[in-house]
Chains A and B, each alone.
Chain A
Amino acid sequence: MTTPTIPPPSSHPGLSPAAAVGAASLWLWMAAVIWAAFLWAPPASGFKNVYSSRILFFHVPMAWVSLVAFLAAGAWSVAYLTRGRRRRHDRAAAVAVELGLVFCLLATLSGSIWSRLEWGAFWNWDPRQTSIVLALVFYAAYLALRSAVEDEPTRSRLAAAYAVLGLVVAPFLFFVLPRLTFSLHPQPVVNAEGEIGMDPRILVVLLAGSAGFTALFFWIHSLACRVRRLTGGNAD
């Protein structure tokens, strides 16, 4: 009489039902955002080149996600420092900063393309442009700090402290500094009078795009953390 054997797990297991539903939903959501950004939302008024305004449906969400990533890195760093110095918190913070830099760079590039179309130059040191460069430099320094320290616990501790400092620096660079002086940059979603002064369809697409990009960030972040853990580590 033979003992039934359990077959080894498939080398390519399918998705769990929840993951399948989530992935399909995200694909549909972003496909709808892309469709709406070009074919449903009206061109923004007050722009020299009305069609160039559609780039904002990607530029704004990417800038938003970079801020979310930097704040998330700060939150995971707080967790690292206060909840037992767990490696996974440090790993999550480092991955969040890396992804935040990617989204921040994409926001900078898309913004400079729009700047060329609207203002005639890719770059003119507008306060909003300057503040995003400062954010890029600040968080690039985070990665430089990690690369410079060989001892893992020391590296993690210093990087965590730096990212916690970023909880103050990032909101200042994204929300305060650009408003301190005159800027050519379009008004933010909530303007200086505390009102939302844009077409409702444009607002809907902006918010939907921001939500979709945020979900995309957390999915990529999860995958990157799991890959890093599987490949042994936390070394930078």
Chain B
Amino acid sequence: MAEIGGGIGWVVAVNLVIWTGLFLYLLRLHRQVRAGERRSGGPEGSDR
């Protein structure tokens, strides 16, 4: 197994924080889009 702790561990932690933040943002956006679709009458509607 490659080196653990020190600089590499810090890089992993930073990456995980960035990824989790991006993920939570997308999740929040997903919920807002779903709420908007419900208010507008459904995801399909007229889309010609």
Identify the A interface with B (CB < 8 A): 9-15, 19, 23, 26-27, 30-31, 34-35, 38-43, 86-88, 219-220, 223, 226-227, 229-230
Contact = CB atoms under 8 A, between A and B. Distances in A.
A15 B33 contact: no
- Interface SS of chain A: helix, strand, loop or mixed? helix
Contacts of B23: 23, 26-27, 30
A214 to B, nearest CB: 15
Contacts of A15: 27, 30-31, 34
Given A13-B38, A229-B47, A230-B36, A40 B1 contact: yes
Nearest to A226: B33
A12 B48 contact: no
Nearest to A219: B26
Contact of A38 (B15, B35, B38, B47): B15
Given A38-B11, A41-B2, A227 B19 contact: no
A223 B12 contact: no
Given A42-B2, A86-B48, 12 more contacts: A13-B31, A27-B23, A34-B15, A34-B16, A35-B16, A38-B12, A38-B15, A40-B2, A41-B2, A223-B26, A226-B37, A226-B43
